[in-house]
Every structure is written in C-alpha cells, then in structure tokens.
Amino acid sequence: MLQHVIPGALLFCLRSTLIVWHSGGICKENFCDRSEVMRTALLLVRRGTVVCVQCLGALSVHGCYRRHCLDEKGERHDGWIAQGHCAVCNKYPALIPEFIKPHKHYKAEVIEKVVGEVESGNNVEVSGSCTADISTMRRWSRGFARRGEQTVGCPTSGQPTIQAHTDPHILRDMPILQQPDRLPCEYPAAGGGVIGSPNIILTTQNCGFL
C-alpha cells in the first residue's frame, strides 16, 4: 500500500477515524438495508480492500450505525454506515461509501454539481439545482477550493506528497474541480466522481478527505 503522506496532513479531519471505499453501486442501491451494508463491508475487509490506515493491519466489521443523506431535492434517505475495528490499534474507522461526503448531509454528487456551477459562473441562487441554503452552497464551494488546493497543490519542500509528480504551477491554473481529479491519474481508484475518487485515495492513505 502507498505510504506517501501530505505534509501536515489535512488537519480538518481527525485521521484514522474513517475510510471511504467504492461501493460499486451496491451500497447506494441498498443504503437502507443494514444486512446488505454489513455483507458488503465484510466482503471488503475479507478481501483486504480496506485495511487499518494506521498500521495497515486487517480490520473486522464491528457493526453499523444510522446515517442519512439528502438528494438535490432535499429528500432524506435513511441508511446505514458500517464501522470497522483494528484489534492492533484499537481504532474504529467508519467505512463510508464514496457517494457520501464525510460530515455533510447532502450527497457528494449534489455538492459536486453545485461547486461546478459556481466555478462556471452560474448563479446558484436561481439555478434550482439544490434546495440547500445559498450560504451553504457558497460554503461548499469555498471549502472545496481550499481543501482541494491543500490536497494537491501545496507540496512542502523535501517531503513527499500524494501529488508529488504534479507541477503546482499547472495546478494553480486549473479549475477547482480538475485539481483533485488529478489524484486518480497518479493513484488509480475505482469510480466515485470528482469528490468520491480522491476521498478513496486520501482516506486509505490516512491523509484526510476533501
């Protein structure tokens, strides 16, 4: 497993507490089915697809907890998130599917769409693409820009980074959504969109999330 670390890590995230993984559509379709979420999580840990980000040790599935997410219409979807356990580190990371953005109520694809509209100069106040408050959508855009830049555009001299092979001058001129999209070019991750794919890479490297 890759061991490159972003200098200082992404300090807005308490590391080792979550892992984003690719659900392949299975978990998204069965988000409300606790037994299916548990079954998928068990399969992932048995295959070694997800391991402890602290010591790279094997995880067990500790259980599930309730979680909800909102779509672009503001409709609530209740479901389950599996929780792993590392017996060596005694960590209990949440195993979050890529369609959910950690610590946000709206789905990752909704946030991604809003960020794209802001970047394209569209007026989110009248676009009707999301029912979230205008201030919330603007906060998404600002936060995404800040975290995206911190993730792939701010290498520290003498220390390896996730995006060590990317010229920061090229990144500086890229649109916001294209910057984190460069991560899968260096470290391939299965599916997940502009937010989901980088989060799979970042969390499995214990480097926070977008």
Q: Indicate the domain borders of the chain.
A: 10-100, 108-190
Whether the model clears a pTM of 0.95, i.e. scores above it, the answer is: no
Closest-CA residue to 39 (of 18, 55, 23, 15): 23
Asked whether residue 110 carries a pLDDT value surpassing 80, the answer given is yes
Q: What is the percent of the chain with per-residue pLDDT over 90, rounded to a whole number?
A: 27
Query: CA–CA separation, 75 vs 50, rounded Å?
Result: 30
Which pLDDT value is given to residue 38? 93
| Beta strands 94-97; 18-21: pairing state | parallel
Asked whether residue 121 carries a pLDDT value surpassing 90, the answer given is no
Query: CA–CA separation, 72 vs 55, rounded Å?
Result: 38
Confidence band, pLDDT 50/70/90 cuts, at residue 66? very high
For residue 190, give both structure tokens: 């299965």
Between 108 and 179, residue with greater pLDDT: 108
Cβ neighbour number for residue 121 with a 10 Å cutoff? 6
Asked whether residue 10 carries a pLDDT value surpassing 60, the answer given is no
Could you tell me if 210 and 195 are in contact, meaning their C-beta atoms sit under 8 angstroms apart? yes
What residue type is assigned to position 136 of the chain?
A: T
Could you tell me if 15 and 206 are in contact, meaning their C-beta atoms sit under 8 angstroms apart? yes
Kindly state the DSSP code that residue 86 receives in the 8-state scheme: B
Which pLDDT value is given to residue 107? 92
Confidence band, pLDDT 50/70/90 cuts, at residue 6? very low
Most confident of the following: 78-82, 110-114, 134-138: 78-82
Which pLDDT value is given to residue 150? 65
Q: 17-49 b/e with 16+ CB inside 10 Å = b?
A: ebbbbbbeeebbebbeebebbeebbeebbeeee
Q: What tens digit of pLDDT does each residue of 13-48 get?
A: 445 688 988 876 666 788 999 999 999 999 989 988
Which pLDDT value is given to residue 11? 39
Mean pLDDT, the chain, integer = 76
Confidence band, pLDDT 50/70/90 cuts, at residue 167? low
Confidence band, pLDDT 50/70/90 cuts, at residue 203? confident
Which pLDDT value is given to residue 87? 93
Q: What is the percent of the chain with per-residue pLDDT over 70, rounded to a whole number?
A: 67
Which pLDDT value is given to residue 78? 94
Could you tell me if 76 and 112 are in contact, meaning their C-beta atoms sit under 8 angstroms apart? no
Which pLDDT value is given to residue 198? 80
